[in-house]
Amino acid sequence: SRDTLDAGHSKPAKLAVIGNPIAHSASPYLQQPALDANDIDARYIRVLVEPGRVAEAFDRMRALDFIGCNVTVPHKFEALEACSEVHPDARSLGAVNTVRFDADAVRGFNTDGPGFVRAIADEFNTTLSTLKVMIVGAGGGAGQAIATQCAMQGVEKLVLVNRTVSKLGPLVNRMLALGSTQDITALSFEDEELSQQCRSCDLIVNTSSVGLKVGDPSILPPTLLRSRHLIYDTIYQPAVTPLLAAGSALECKTANGLSLLIHQGVLAFQHWFPQTDPISVMREAMAARIH
């Protein structure tokens, strides 16, 4: 809430989320209550950073004794390159969303991928690695990270769907090189295989921006959905996207991206402050904002 953020205002800025644009990042709403609840004397701020200036932003934050930062669109790859040490999983994912400024190194991590694994476990009471997964809108940053995480988990089958199917070739090759999931298919929305592939999957994930705007259609035609499908949308505002509404109408189990937002935030916080568990504070903070 506004009060929680204001309470942080008297504290020294020690953490940030960097991106461009940045004004609408929800991260402060998660992270500041967790800092306050753990009696950590630090403020979490939003910082607008221009492309090409991520390394400079890191230098400035280090000079100011920042603990670390989160990184959002479009800087997750540039951040990976600007770190002096990158966790192997973040390197495989090709993206850094969490940075810790240690005395000896700038360490980069990715909590989006592991956050997704936890979100699926939480929402659907199942283990991602046992599922056959279709990722729709796999061409963007979120889609690539989630698709790669699925491949790292060794999901039984992976189907990637994208409007621009040519974007998927390099992604599929990188995922095959990880060596776990070998059953990987790339499709366009026009592909005649789409309906049969959809029927053979357990979990359908929207990683596109389709559903954000009023009037958007369901990213997948509702006729492709079956009641046995688990449906996850990485969008959390609106809380019910057209895809999720179509799934609910068929009595599918559905969930929106709030759990991903919270779990990636929890894991980031724990990179900065090991031995904390901010999950309930973060859940309550978001529940108070989203009705």
Q: Does 211 bind ligand ATR (CB under 6 A)?
A: no
For ligand ATR, the binding residue among 57, 210, 246, 258 (CB under 6 A) is 210
Q: Does residue number 164 form part of the binding site for ligand ATR (CB under 6 A)?
A: yes
Query: Is 166 among the annotated ligand-binding positions?
Result: yes
140 scored as a contact of ligand ATR (CB under 6 A) = yes
From the list 63-71, 88-96, 139-147, 273-281, the region that binds ligand ATR by CB under 6 A is 139-147
Q: How far is CA 126 from the centre of its chain?
A: 19
Nearer to ligand ATR, 83 or 146 (CB): 146
- Site membership for ligand ATR, residue 257 (CB under 6 A): no
Query: For ligand ATR, how many residues bind (rule: CB under 6 A)?
Result: 15
Minimum CB separation of residue 272 from ligand ATR in Å reads 24
Residue 166 Cβ vs ligand ATR, minimum distance, rounded to whole Å? 9
Is residue 54 exposed (0-12), middle (13-18) or buried (19+ Cβ within 10 Å)? buried
The answer to whether 167 is a known ligand-binding residue is: yes
Q: Considering only 14-22, 63-71, 120-128, 138-146, which stretch makes contact with ligand ATR by CB under 6 A?
A: 138-146
Q: Is 143 in the site for ligand ATR (CB under 6 A)?
A: yes
Q: Does 154 bind ligand ATR (CB under 6 A)?
A: no
Region binding ligand ATR by CB under 6 A among candidate stretches 78-86, 88-96, 202-210, 276-284 = 202-210
The residues that are catalytic are 76
